[in-house]
Amino acid sequence: TECIGRELFHGYTYSAHPAACSAALAALAIYEEEQLFERAAQLSAVFLDAVFSLRDLPAITDIRGYGLLAGFDLIPKGEPGLHGYALQKALYEAGLHIKTTGDAGIIAPPLITEEKHIQHMVDVLASVLKGVG
């Protein structure tokens, strides 16, 4: 009624939807069963050491990271974002996808990653960074 309000806001079609809740509970069970958070914590040092090994490449101006998440800044070349775009395109062609925004990149491997994946990812990234430098 008008005295209570014009509409009854009760959420969205995806808010607390039983199927979404069921999927979330299943995902939480997998995280626990496969100890993905513990594994990520153990791989953090390996990941950060690998990523920080890129810091001396001429294209990199800054690297930061925590856990299995790292970001880096590129030296701008020409118009803002062109260096990041060139990196994203070259990485795609090399089979690696990371997030680039402007002249910055974000590296965030999945929780199921292994040491060999981290090393491969950083090797590809280093090779491509040297090429698009």
The answer to whether the CB of 100 falls within 8 A of the CB of 93 is no
Per-residue pLDDT tens digits of the chain, which is 133 residues long: 566 666 666 667 767 778 888 999 999 999 999 999 999 999 999 999 999 999 999 999 999 999 999 999 999 888 989 999 999 999 999 999 999 999 999 999 999 999 999 999 999 999 999 988 7
- The label of the residue with tokens 């800054």 reads 62
Q: How far is 133 from 128, CA to CA, in rounded Å?
A: 8
Residue with tokens 């958070």: 37
pTM for the model? 0.80
Which tokens belong to 100?
Answer: 């680039």
Burial status of residue 105 (CB atoms within 10 A of its CB: 0-12, 13-18, 19 or more): buried
Q: What is the pLDDT of residue 61?
A: 96
Domain architecture of the chain: domains with CATH: 43-132 (3.90.1150.10)
* pLDDT on residue 8: 63
